[in-house]
Chains A and B, each alone.
Chain A
Amino acid sequence: MGIVIFDGVAYGMLLFLIAVGLSITMGLMNFVNLAHGSFAMVGGYAASLLMSRFGVGFFPALAAAFVAAALIGAVLEFLFYRRLYKAHPLDQVLLSIGIVFVSIATFTYFFGPTMQPFQLPPLLDGRVSLAGLEVGRYRLFLIVCGVLVFAGLLLGLGKTRYGAMVRAAVDNQRVARGTGIHVQRLFFLTFSLGCGLAGLGGALSLGMLGLEPSFPLKYLVYFLIVVCVGGAGTITGPFIAALLVGVVDMAGKYYWPEAGAFLIYVVMIVMLLLRPNGIIPRKGIA
């Protein structure tokens, strides 16, 4: 029981890392971005390549994954996303599906359709005893990472000037612009940050979910569930939702394998019926 919850929490942290950027971009820019998994994949492949071909260590590779995904995100924001903030959601969906398709095809072409090999660093391999539970070190590391990022984002959004500007723009973009906030640049920076976090999550998922070119489509629904159930535009909402999704999914697969994937969709539909705007709705639409 304990170990299932623990693994579920670790899985949830991973989902949170990847999905939190999506939550911010959806809340801030009202952009329905289905391509978020592609940025996670970019980060994952960057880390995997650096480790397997250039012998870079695990932790520098994680940093590189963040940078690579953030850079790709910045370029795509500048080229495509920027032009569609005011467009119909259908256009946004089409653009992001297009990006998903191109990324899947490109990565299959260059790296083949198989799963990327991954060797856990010795420091994170094996198990450790924690409060009477034998838990995997890597999963513990995931939880620590998730909590650190969560705390960092909460602090960053709550205490810094940049965070205040982001909150202002999420609450009311027009007024934020009126007070002299450069909203366009804010979008650009926040989008890149969100993509970078997705890249970090993608690199961390190497040791848990595995990484293959179909990654963006395979886990797309999970990211969207986290954002949707949690409430787009917040940090705490996706955090709670990711933990919920992680634990429910893990428990479902463990105790009731025939139903496995159903449980999570049923939970999503029930949650959306109970709280159509998410667990923690952002201000203004509640």
Chain B
Amino acid sequence: MKTLTLTPARLRGAEIVFWTALASCFFLLPDKLTLMSQILIFGLFAVSLDMALGYAGILTVGHAAFFGAGAYAAGLLAKYGWSEPFSGLLFALLVCMALGYALSYLVVRGADLTRLMITIGVCVLLAELANRLAGITGGTDGLQGVVIAPVLGFFDFDLYGKTAFVYSFVMVLLVFLGVRLVLRSPFGLTLRGIHDSRKRMLAIGSPVASRLRMAYALSAAVAGVAGALLAQTTQFVGIESIGFNRSAEVLIILVLGGTGRLYGGMIGAIVYMLVHDGFADLNPQYWMFWLGIFLIAAVMLGRGGIMGALSRFTGTRRNA
């Protein structure tokens, strides 16, 4: 097959087309806006996981801890009086960044197995906490009574999800651009270097542990924003926002899209959520079965996901 070479200018064009296409859903798919907001939010969540897993190479299967923490932070803030949405997002971001930075001291040390255990353990621990503190979090019933003030004091969150879509789109785009900037900065290149060869990065004097801690905290912050967006747009926080299953789900989304690629998480979320929506009436057990088969196949037939397959015949490397 003839490979199609993408120049940086064309690549930027492709990026613009991608986001314009997403934005045009507002007019093209007016009855699917709730689903589109969820796709955007899960895409951002997958991108945050990619920062930790795909770029920094921190093996984590507990990222829903931050997604859930962000959701509960934003939800609780709105429930107990402060309902302005932007500051709610900022609050969730700061909470999750602090949480991520504190946990990074546990996560960054130790071997892969230890990291895996700590991330799973913390995630299950927080899920248990949310379950036990039913007086505050609503327990298994979820956090209800979240009221979000109109965006900019003018656009109310309506039943059709119009405001929710525009709000999520703008916020996801902004955060995504921030992530893109970070990953293309020298800091992002350091992360990629650590991912490829930790020893050599140490040898050239790169402070590996502190860079990894920072990456983990940033990734946690972005995951928290995604969670907060979900809480604000649905005005509800379910207990399933936090926990092992959500972590596994976002891992699947990322693997589907392709790890270590900026757009892997977004593409994975689009495909995963559309397929999930299409088979919504399928028995959950079958869904689980096919997910399992997909995971096994993805590993056995080679990783890289959709972005990997795309880049194989467009001639761009890892930066698309």
Chain A partners chain B: yes
Binding site for B on A (CB under 8 A): 26, 32, 80, 83-84, 87, 89-91, 93-95, 97-106, 108-109, 217, 221, 224-225, 227-228, 232, 258, 261-262, 265-266, 268-269, 272-273, 276-277, 285
Give B103 Cβ to nearest chain A Cβ, in Å.
10
How far does the alpha carbon of A94 sit from the alpha carbon of B295 in the complex, in Å? 6
**Contact A224–B117 (Cβ < 8 Å):** yes
How far does the alpha carbon of A221 sit from the alpha carbon of B118 in the complex, in Å? 10
**Contact B299–A91 (Cβ < 8 Å):** yes
Inter-chain contacts of B112 with A (CB < 8 A): 32, 89
Give A105 Cβ to nearest chain B Cβ, in Å.
4
How far does the alpha carbon of A211 sit from the alpha carbon of B275 in the complex, in Å? 32
Inter-chain contacts of B286 with A (CB < 8 A): 105
Inter-chain contacts of B291 with A (CB < 8 A): 98, 101
- Given A91-B303, A98-B299, A105-B285 in contact, is the A268-B121 Cβ separation under 8 Å? yes
Give A113 Cβ to nearest chain B Cβ, in Å.
8
**Contact B300–A225 (Cβ < 8 Å):** no
**Residue of A whose beta carbon sits closest to that of B298:** A94
**Contact B295–A97 (Cβ < 8 Å):** yes
- Given A91-B303, A94-B299, A98-B296 in contact, is the A268-B117 Cβ separation under 8 Å? yes
- The yes or no answer to B318 lying at the interface (CB within 8 A) is no
**Contact A80–B117 (Cβ < 8 Å):** no
**Contact A84–B299 (Cβ < 8 Å):** yes
**Contact B124–A32 (Cβ < 8 Å):** no
**Contact B248–A98 (Cβ < 8 Å):** no
What total count of A-B pairs have CB within 8 Å? Answer: 119
**Contact A225–B292 (Cβ < 8 Å):** no
Give B260 Cβ to nearest chain A Cβ, in Å.
10
How far does the alpha carbon of A285 sit from the alpha carbon of B111 in the complex, in Å? 10
- The yes or no answer to B106 lying at the interface (CB within 8 A) is yes
**Contact B53–A102 (Cβ < 8 Å):** no
How far does the alpha carbon of A94 sit from the alpha carbon of B252 in the complex, in Å? 8
- The yes or no answer to B113 lying at the interface (CB within 8 A) is yes
4 A-B pairs with the lowest CB-CB distances in the bound complex, closest first? A98-B295, A101-B292, A105-B289, A102-B292
**Contact B296–A80 (Cβ < 8 Å):** yes
Tell me which of A80, A83, A105, A261 contacts B288 (CB under 8 A).
A105
14 A-B contacts, Cβ less than 8 Å apart?
Answer: A89-B116, A90-B59, A93-B251, A95-B300, A98-B299, A104-B288, A105-B286, A221-B244, A232-B113, A262-B125, A265-B122, A269-B121, A272-B106, A273-B106
**Contact B292–A98 (Cβ < 8 Å):** yes
**Contact B289–A93 (Cβ < 8 Å):** no
- The yes or no answer to B183 lying at the interface (CB within 8 A) is no
Residue-wise, chain B 47-59 has the 8 Å CB interface mask toward A (1 for contact) of: 0000001000001
Give B118 Cβ to nearest chain A Cβ, in Å.
6
**Contact B296–A95 (Cβ < 8 Å):** yes
Give B286 Cβ to nearest chain A Cβ, in Å.
7
How far does the alpha carbon of A225 sit from the alpha carbon of B285 in the complex, in Å? 28
- Given A90-B53, A90-B59 in contact, is the A99-B121 Cβ separation under 8 Å? no
How far does the alpha carbon of A89 sit from the alpha carbon of B244 in the complex, in Å? 18
Inter-chain contacts of A105 with B (CB < 8 A): 285-286, 288-289, 292
How far does the alpha carbon of A262 sit from the alpha carbon of B294 in the complex, in Å? 34
**Contact B114–A276 (Cβ < 8 Å):** yes
Inter-chain contacts of B289 with A (CB < 8 A): 101-102, 105-106, 109
**Contact B121–A101 (Cβ < 8 Å):** no
How far does the alpha carbon of A100 sit from the alpha carbon of B293 in the complex, in Å? 10
How far does the alpha carbon of A90 sit from the alpha carbon of B115 in the complex, in Å? 12
**Residue of B whose beta carbon sits closest to that of A104:** B288
**Contact B128–A262 (Cβ < 8 Å):** yes
Inter-chain contacts of B292 with A (CB < 8 A): 97-103, 105
